[in-house]
Structure 1
Amino acid sequence: MAYNVSSPPGFRRIPFCGCWYPPPQYYSGSKYIGPPHQNSKSYLPLEDMEAHTVIKDVSSRTVLTQTFLNNTAGPIKGLAYSFPLYDGVSVVSFTATIGDIQIQGLVKEKQQARREYNDAVSKGSLAGLLEQVPEASDVFVTSIGNVPAGAKVVVEVVYVGELKHDAESNGIRFTIPSSIAPRYGQTPGSVAGSLPLNTALASSKAADAIRITVDFQSPEGCIIQQIQSPSHPAAVTIGRTTDMPTTSFVPNRGSATLLLGSTNLDKDFVIIANVRDADKPRALLETHATISNQRALMATLVPRFNIAPTYGEIVFIVDRSGSMDGKMQLVTRALTILLKSLPVGVKFNICSFGSRHSFLWPRSKSYTDDNLNQALKHIDTFQADFGGTELHDPVKVTISQRFTDMLLDAIILTDGQIWNQESLFSIIRQATETHKCRFFSLGIGSGASTALVEGIATAGNGFSQFVAENEKMDRKMIRLLKGALTPHIDDYTLEVKYKSDDDDFEMVTAEKAAPKADVTLQTASAMMVT
């Protein structure tokens, strides 16, 4: 199933999220034979959503709770719940409460988890299954079976992750994604039925239907200087978290709160915090709660190397597919900064892509005033008129027509709406290994796929940045360009030595979860334990 992404301006594409169920004709007895057609699905109304995040140093732990109501006249056999997560997080807990019964997820092998879920549903038992979509690691799908009429479905997902650096503010950036836009290309069968394109999600109008709280707990001596949200009018407090008395003031504590009277979060909720000395190297060591001699280590450092820049070839690969409608002004602003900041001596080119692709010049040209002006006039004509999103061919052609006597650095600007990500990453990894190419990425707009944008940078030995509407971007663009101009480092090694009683490490004690009823949980996310 390929989606028409060259839709007319103003066409609203409903985000990839929601709690839905297929009609009876998609069942043969008790066996689900879906997925249903896009327009045939029905949605449960979302009554309430709450997210509470605790940020310690450069890591976060979020508890996301959403409440749905089965307002149908009978039980639902195959309820599905699809939701987005930021790339790089690990799901550590999944709980579904249906009426008075609570079930908790257990991590099991994928096929075994599916078998046990199907067996439970066929027997009429309550069951749930959480799966991470392999084609896009920022999409999770939960299947919940046999929901009684009139029952409330409360889903709680707990996930942890490492925060991102925001180059514009030189702070730490935390995002709660509101949605994942429909992706172009063949949709994986496991989620094909959960991509609502033109069916509105039911939502309540209750006061404070959305409650998002972010508490900051910085290390001793790391003063929180500023907390801001470029996306929403959040209430910010410096000096205390939400669980502290109102008279308290601790300089390394802070909080941000967002309350909305609707369950529709229109765009990603972004929080940026500036913490003094946040860029100092540090490490966190966590001991396992039940297994002896098992630890997990997370090290954070901001490398600062005094290395002279190199002047090779830089190609800007720009997404002009239909999904970029409304975002081309951001693209033009970003490219203008990048182009005007190029140094004399570098060669550059611009590749536009969608269902087709084209280059400004057959091969990259040297940076001169005339070539710069030609490039600036070219980007002023940009529109989201290239059809679907096909990124493989422009990447392949960029690699094949490079100057073999120069190093190639590519900067991809995209909103990241494709499914077949891993094959693209393989192309990029091969180019970095065989031809010493390097790839950077810029995520454009709210809802950009973090799995794709950050996956490009990881596979290409570069790094990524994100920019949304109404955000400043000058420093982000300069950082991207500086990264592309640094010499290519073929290999490096990081050696960490520690002792269990070393005072330089902050010991984190894991909390034990109370035992709950068993249900299978399958996800690709996992904590790495050494």
Structure 2
Amino acid sequence: MHFLGNTCCINSYQDNNVIKVAPSGSVFCICLLAVLVSSDDWDIYSFHINSTVTSCYATTVITSRVANRMNESKETEFHVRIPKNAFISKFRMFIDDQIYDGVVKVKEQAQQQYTEAVSRGESAGLVSSVGRTLEEFRTSVTMAAHKKVTFELTYEELMKRMHGKYELQIHAQPMQPVRDFKVDVYIHEEAGISFIDVKGGLSTKALANAITKTHADKEAWIYFYPTADQQKMCDSCGEQGMNGDLVIVYDVNRDNGLGHIKKSAGYFVHHFAPSNLPRIPKNVVFLIDQSGSMHGKKIQQTRTALIHILNDLAEDDLFGLITFDGNIFHWKRELVQANSENMESAKHFARNIHDRGSTNINQAVLQGANMLNVHHREGSASILILLTDGDPTSGETNLEKIQSNVKQAIAGKFPLYCLGFGFDVNFDFLEKMSLQNNGVARRIYEDSDADLQLKGFYEEVATPLLTDVTMIYVGGTNLTQTNFSQYYNGSEIVVAGQITDNDIQTFIPQVVAVSSTRRVIFANTNDSVESTETMADDRIQRVWAHLTVKQLLDKQLQLSGPEKEKVKKEALELSLKYNFVTPLTSMVVTKPPGENTDVLHKPGRWSSVGLPLLILSSTCPVSLRFLRTQCTPCLLFT
């Protein structure tokens, strides 16, 4: 059967081992997938997850060993979830003493292989993201009777410090209880590990007894070895085994100086996160979409979150509130002090925000930018936060014109943070507008905790400690981003690069920034750079490559024409050199001569409706599939 569809998949669910899709309004999507074979037909006799973290860079290897105990050929599945920010860097299958290796290629080359496979009527699949933080990867292989296969997937991620900690998320979903199930995590941080904890749904109840944690200064070990019986005894466990997260939370020792710099083989990575600094008073304007599409739970959760956020403002902060639909509504037309009288008035205004009308994003952002420009005060940090759930539908509606207007109005003086509520929002538009103005965009998921998501984001930017941060590296080259408009408490600035001629004597790092009204310089030339030359790997270099690719992918979103193509080419070349599966590359799983190939893509950035990229070309006996447990639009061949 050969099916091609490009429509919206809403509310996908599983019934009798067949993935089905429920209708959304008048639009239907039928996603026809191969029937999932019962896990009783194969035996996962070993499932190991091994994660090594150094310099906040995690390399995780998932190894699954499977046996077909039946007297006939059966389809066997390898199913894992990995963090969205990670790059897959290796995938291998071991079958009958043969190794099937993945090779990263330019996406267009893989696309051609895919098209050719589909034209021959061969099977294929799809890729998309799963929930807030994960991507899902499925691989299946048809195994002969009484044969074994080993799957090995490696992915890498540079962890981001938020709220004063790093989180390493490991998702375990082996689809059946496994006799030999192990998670081994080793963390080594030269600065010293200040604390470490284990959280997540797999760390509670009976499974807590399966966790061993050891912490010794610069090193920590986490072992998670649940028995087959224990794997059925958590909130999300059952006869199908575990299905949940193990989250390792930690931070490193901090000083109030230059931070931690490590070098190896001519490369360096600098983690800068001073904490004992006075907070800077902030000027913040909240732009709240109250158009008709915010009806119901969205507007209720927005009101709840806004009231919580107002309670967290300090008295020396200045703030403003603007709501908008087709028109603009000011609580007050100027920034005011966050004293008790103004706070009560603002909360009253927030409680009376109701959905209505269309969406004039252009005018709302320009009004907010004008408030911050008019009321600029020395020694403060200004922040503009936009919350919306839809496209601009009134006033200026040309997206590029809006982005140009906003960039001109802000003129690099403060960051714009865009929060996109739900999946109807044009997230690409918000993301580009944020990046053009030194901010970030964040998707707010329509779950029961959406108000906590909003509040959580605000807390990331609630306490500015430095503004106009410039990272300087005399004797450094090929640097990642070195200029940052603001640094917030609990976060971190990471810069990587190369040391010219690998000469540490001429390498002089320093940080120049503004703390309130005072210019400050962080410098320490005495043994400020730690060498890891004894490490027999290229981890520091891979940190540089990972961070560079991420930033180039962000940068090309902001550009057009020849400049965009130049940046895209740089990101592609690095992806190929370091074997990263990125939105520009694909991994081709090679097989013996005469057989076809499987193609593995990484999901690109979600469009306004979350459109995933098509993923594979495959044929028996091996087929790769990516599925999504929540709905996204889909492009599917099967």
Structure 1 position 373, deviation (Å): 1.8
Q: Which amino acid aligns with 1:172?
A: Y
Structure 1 position 111, deviation (Å): 0.9
Alpha-carbon contact 1:175-1:271 (below 8 Å) kept: yes
In structure 1, runs of 5+ residues without a counterpart are 6-12, 24-35, 179-202, 241-248, 288-294, 417-421, 526-530
The share of aligned pairs that are identical, in percent, is: 15
Distance (Å, rounded) in 1 between the aligned partners of 2:94 and 2:329? 53
Distance (Å, rounded) in 1 between the aligned partners of 2:242 and 2:267? 35
Aligned to 1:114: 111
| Paired residues, number | 439
Aligned to 1:198: none
Flag the structure with higher helix content: 2
Structure 1 position 506, deviation (Å): 1.4
Distance (Å, rounded) in 1 between the aligned partners of 2:603 and 2:200? 31
Aligned to 2:176: 206
Q: Deviations over 1:50-78 (max 9, x none)?
A: 5432222311112245799999x9999xx
Select which of 405, 413, 416 maps to 2:374: 405
What value does the CA root-mean-square deviation take over the aligned residues? 6.3
Q: Does 1:160 align with 2:156?
A: yes
Change in CA separation of 1:66 and 1:81 when aligned onto 2, cut-off 3 Å: same
User: When the two structures are superposed, what TM-score results if normalisation uses the length of structure 1?
Assistant: 0.58
Alpha-carbon contact 1:137-1:451 (below 8 Å) kept: no
Aligned to 1:252: 219
Distance (Å, rounded) in 1 between the aligned partners of 2:196 and 2:20? 47
Partner secondary structure for residue 164 of structure 1: coil
Partner secondary structure for residue 343 of structure 1: coil
Structure 1 position 492, deviation (Å): 2.9
Structure 1 position 161, deviation (Å): 1.6
Q: Does 1:86 align with 2:91?
A: no
The residue correspondences of 1:17-416 to structure 2 (distance < 5 A) are 37-38=29-30, 40-42=32-34, 44=36, 51-64=49-62, 85-87=83-85, 89-95=86-92, 102-119=99-116, 156-167=152-163, 170-176=164-170, 206-207=176-177, 213=183, 215-220=185-190, 222-229=192-199, 232-233=202-203, 235=208, 236-239=211-214, 252-255=219-222, 257=224, 260-261=231-232, 262=237, 269-277=246-254, 281-287=259-265, 296-303=267-274, 309=280, 312-315=283-286, 317=288, 332=304, 335-344=307-316, 346-349=318-321, 351=323, 361=331, 363=333, 366-367=336-337, 368-379=339-350, 394=361, 397-401=364-368, 402-403=370-371, 404-406=373-375, 409-411=383-385
Q: Which amino acid aligns with 2:165?
A: G
In structure 2, runs of 5+ residues without a counterpart are 1-5, 22-27, 377-381, 391-398, 476-498, 505-528, 539-577, 580-588, 592-596, 605-638
Structure 1 position 115, deviation (Å): 1.5
Aligned to 1:482: 463
Structure 1 position 394, deviation (Å): 3.8
Distance (Å, rounded) in 2 between the aligned partners of 1:324 and 1:211? 44
User: When the two structures are superposed, what TM-score results if normalisation uses the length of structure 2?
Assistant: 0.50
Q: Which amino acid aligns with 2:385?
A: I
Alpha-carbon contact 1:66-1:156 (below 8 Å) kept: yes
Distance (Å, rounded) in 2 between the aligned partners of 1:364 and 1:427? 24
Structure 1 position 86, deviation (Å): 2.6
Change in CA separation of 1:303 and 1:328 when aligned onto 2, cut-off 3 Å: farther
Change in CA separation of 1:20 and 1:301 when aligned onto 2, cut-off 3 Å: farther
Distance (Å, rounded) in 1 between the aligned partners of 2:327 and 2:34? 38
Distance (Å, rounded) in 1 between the aligned partners of 2:200 and 2:463? 25
Q: Which amino acid aligns with 1:461?
A: N
Alpha-carbon contact 1:317-1:350 (below 8 Å) kept: yes
Q: Which amino acid aligns with 2:159?
A: L
More displaced, 106-115 or 432-441? 432-441
Change in CA separation of 1:332 and 1:231 when aligned onto 2, cut-off 3 Å: farther
Alpha-carbon contact 2:7-2:29 (below 8 Å) kept: no
Change in CA separation of 1:98 and 1:464 when aligned onto 2, cut-off 3 Å: farther
Structure 1 position 44, deviation (Å): 2.5
Q: Which amino acid aligns with 2:83?
A: L
Structure 1 position 108, deviation (Å): 1.2
Distance (Å, rounded) in 1 between the aligned partners of 2:175 and 2:127? 31
Change in CA separation of 1:159 and 1:398 when aligned onto 2, cut-off 3 Å: same
Distance (Å, rounded) in 1 between the aligned partners of 2:13 and 2:260? 38
